[in-house]
Structure 1
Amino acid sequence: MYFRSKDAVTNIEVFLDDPDRVPQTRVDILRSAGKALRIVDWQQANASFFNAIKVERNVMFLILTLIILVAAFNIISGMIMMVKDKGRDIAILRTMGATRGMVMRIFLLAGASVGIIGTAIGFGLGVAFAGNIETIRQWLQGLTGTELFAAEIYFLSQLPSVVETSDVVSVVAMSLGLSFLAVLYPAWRAARLDPVEALRYE
């Protein structure tokens, strides 16, 4: 007891089976016991730890965004090189009656397919990795002989992993959106190619 209060209760600990029920339980306790008390939940007691996790999560999202941007620039450069290499073929298609819209659609489909396939592979590998992260950690620890996730630092006995549907959807949408945007300029450039200039030195 605090302040030598022998006949008074100064501190009560409440344990819940579901940690997500903390906000509702807080309201219920205040309603039952009155407002003349101070409630500190497990998130407030470990505020610095949760703030560090939040910063780490934001940094990881930023790194992931930069990786996706680099991949988008790779698609742009690859498609531009394809337009240069296929200039003669594009010119032949134009002379055979293909419109600029048809040429643009061809390159849009070619570039978009790269983005879709890459996103699908990344989605599958990412979900599989997240679902088996603890098994992978133990395998790497046994392989390297080093402790990759110190329990005394992170206060956890194993590496937790939860696949958030909203995060997965946002990452997939960002990846697909940037992939489609990345092929717009190369496809437009292919559609604007002059067949006469392309075939002049052939």
Structure 2
Amino acid sequence: MSQLQFDLDHVIDTLASEGWVVIPHALSAAITANLRTACLEVWQQGLFHEAATGRADGQARRAEIRSDSVLWLDQVAALPAVQAYNAAMDDIMQAVNRGLYLGLVELESHFAVYPEGAFYKKHLDRFQDDDARTLTTVFYLNEAWPQQAGGQIRLYLDADCREFIDVEPEAGTLVLFLSDRFWHEVLPARQQRLSVTGWYRRRGGNMPW
């Protein structure tokens, strides 16, 4: 039985027309609560590492750009909460492929913890030398998040980054957007902020140059 709590057809139509969509209460309350518990447990076990920018040999920790810590879900894939999340996200991938023909083949994702004061400066999610990342996913785990706590994702809607929306990181909200099209940033969080961030990837994404 699907754990999705929204109309997939509407989401696909919105992605087709706008390239992004925000879905409150996207997954069941049980999945959201269990993921939050799992995230906090592995955080307390010290399994996270400081997030880096770039990829492969070009990876580096640049605290002036981002200051969160992450744990890739494939490292804790046996956790029931992670398995349930992955199953729900696979349902989305199959539907998006049917509706938009994006050729998505997998989801890579990680828990992200932003300690108090952490942020992520404006960036695109697609690497310059690899265009496999196609559709970005952000799923929030923060219960009763106060607006004054910051931590919103700011999604820029135009090429000049003049028009934007701020999305509150409230538990159960799912954000989807095309990875190569939308600049975005995470505003400084004034309390601990939890999410699952990921990218649906297509096969053979290495660019020819």
TM-score between both structures, scaled by the size of structure 1: 0.22
Q: Which has the higher strand share?
A: 2
Q: Which has the higher helix share?
A: 1
Larger relative contact order, structure 1 or 2 (CA cutoff 8 Å, min sep 6): 1
TM-score between both structures, scaled by the size of structure 2: 0.22
Larger radius of gyration between Structure 1 and Structure 2: 1
